[in-house]
Chain A
Amino acid sequence: MIIEDKLRQTRFSVDEVPHIRVNSEVCQDCADKPCLYVCPVQNYTLKDGEVTFIWHSCVECGACRIACLKGAIDWSYPRGGFGVCLRYG
């Protein structure tokens, strides 16, 4: 099942400004690219050998922040009340 389908029932209140920014220039020198594997919603993907990042469906776990050892990720929580809003958890 693709992630978008899984997330269909999950509530989000998306802010206009991204809370995570990725400096993809740094990614070019990153051999392992752990972000591709640790993100539960697969926000990091490889397109033509380059890492692309989307943030709308971020579930705010912090895994990419800790896994990236290159400092490419400028990571913060979304503004209060925004982002994922779990009904079950």
Chain B
Amino acid sequence: MTEKFDAVVVGAGPAGATAALVLAQAGLKVALVERGETPGAKNMSGGALYYSEVLHKLVPDFWHEAPVERYITRHTTTFLTPTASLSLDFKDTDFGHPPYNGFTLLRAKFDRWYAQKAQQAGALLIPETVVDDLLWADGKVVGIKTRRDEGELYADVVIVADGANSLLAEKARLRDKTSPADFAVAAKELLALPRRTIEERFNLSPDEGVASEFVGSCTEGIQGGAFLYTNKASISIGIVANLNRLRESKLSIAELLDSFKEHPVLKELLKGATIKEYSGHLIPEGGLKAMPRLYGDGIILVGDAAGLVYSTGLVLEGMNFAIASGFAAAEAAKKARQAGDFSKKSLAYYETLLNGSFVLQDLKNFRRTPGLLAKSRLYELYPALACGTAHRLFRVDGQPRKRWLALVKDEMRGRISLLQAVKDIIKAWRALL
């Protein structure tokens, strides 16, 4: 299959499918190469696709046809200790109107649908095909080498959308080294539960969904957290933890998920649920500092392969970043084609576009959060302080009551100094506000 394309896209996740769709719409000859049996067969996420202007533009009112599960109207963030939980619970039915703030979804279904959109626009989908390497000529990328007989594909530009574990970003020498400090691993279970039960347990109207994050004892105090999303008739539940922290603490990601499910609060919510699928995935969480170079001669990195994930601890967003970056890459490739120049200099337009959009602006504005999130107190001490203070606040034991500030001080005594707590607050302030 020695063939020349205008563009070859590697990976049919949201980043790659977007790039292929936009290029095909512009009339370019584009191949979308995917190693899975179908697009999505290898892909997993927690499950919330937040508002994406690009997707709205490419497929207006996409939720009518896309396999989305529930629109999210409720967000919860919960501090956990082994016996207690303290939550921030936000619900706004205003999120339940078009264009919707976010949807829960299952990637095997969604990605397949989205890649079909690219196909319908004219992109050639090549599934069940692993890309092993890039083809080079005069120091420029000129195509890809697939693990098939005569599996070379030539193209003016290669868009690398192969996800968090991007072997091609390394092969392209756009990423110098991958450090375990910059990655988290996730373990997830998909649990079946009847629709009505979900709505009753999670206080939801039909079609409404909840996105929940947990910090604290779910990772035994190490950097990471847990999540729970409601789908139509199933629940997505999982644990995320930093690779280095797992090593240092000798905690197994698989076992953390098991003990999270045993937490008294979770146990009630999951009663009667049966497992339908188990999966694992990487998350690039190093932020701006860990970002590879985004392009080279004849090549552009998009989505997770480029490390474009936004994580503040409250939310983890990557799909909307993947879609926006896939779009920007396609626009840069179109411009390069007009100029007949696919050099690094010409493709720099990709970064210009990302700089002008939320993609790099969010990562820059929140560049301090990866540092903040690496602080262990956030996962160990603060959840315990919060739950401990609440415990004292609500406990009725026949003794005279203390004023609230005294309660907090009691909780902090011997665990953290006021000065250190104030320093932490200032750091969080600078990183987030």
Within 8 Å by CB of B186, from A40, A81, A86, A88, lies A40
* B251 within 8 A of partner (CB): yes
Closest 8 CB pairs of A and B: A40-B280, A62-B165, A81-B128, A89-B107, A89-B108, A34-B247, A80-B128, A40-B187
Q: With a CB–CB cut-off of 8 A, which chain B residues contact A6? A: 189, 275, 278
Q: How far in angstroms is the closest Cβ of chain B from A57?
A: 9
B64-106: CB near A (< 8 Å → 1, else 0) gives 0000000000000000000000000000000000000000001
Q: With a CB–CB cut-off of 8 A, which chain A residues contact B129? A: 80
Q: How far in angstroms is the closest Cβ of chain B from A12?
A: 11
B residues 160-196 in Cβ contact with A at 8 Å: 164-165, 167, 178-180, 183, 185-187, 189-190
Q: With a CB–CB cut-off of 8 A, which chain B residues contact A60? A: 42, 165
* B250 within 8 A of partner (CB): yes
Report yes or no: A86 in contact with B40, Cβ–Cβ below 8 A: yes
Within 8 Å by CB of A86, from B107, B132, B244, lies B107
Report yes or no: B278 in contact with A7, Cβ–Cβ below 8 A: yes
Q: How many A-B residue pairs have CB under 8 A?
A: 152
Give me the interface of A with B, judged by CB distance under 8 Å: 1, 3, 5-7, 9-10, 13, 32, 34, 36-42, 59-63, 65-67, 69, 76-81, 83-89
Report yes or no: A34 in contact with B277, Cβ–Cβ below 8 A: no
Within 8 Å by CB of A85, from B41, B164, B183, lies B41
Report yes or no: A84 in contact with B254, Cβ–Cβ below 8 A: no
Bound Cα distance from A32 to B180, whole angstroms: 13
Please judge, given known A-B contacts A10-B278, A66-B178, A89-B107, whether A36 and B252 are in contact too, CB under 8 Å: yes
Within 8 Å by CB of B108, from A63, A79, A88, lies A88
Bound Cα distance from A88 to B14, whole angstroms: 16
Q: With a CB–CB cut-off of 8 A, which chain A residues contact B230? A: none
Q: How far in angstroms is the closest Cβ of chain A from B180?
A: 5
Q: With a CB–CB cut-off of 8 A, which chain B residues contact A38? A: 180, 185, 243, 246-247, 253
Report yes or no: B280 in contact with A59, Cβ–Cβ below 8 A: yes
Residue of B nearest to A13 (CB): B37
Q: With a CB–CB cut-off of 8 A, which chain A residues contact B389? A: none
Bound Cα distance from A62 to B129, whole angstroms: 18
* B29 within 8 A of partner (CB): no
Q: With a CB–CB cut-off of 8 A, which chain B residues contact A37? A: 246-247, 249-253
Report yes or no: B282 in contact with A80, Cβ–Cβ below 8 A: no
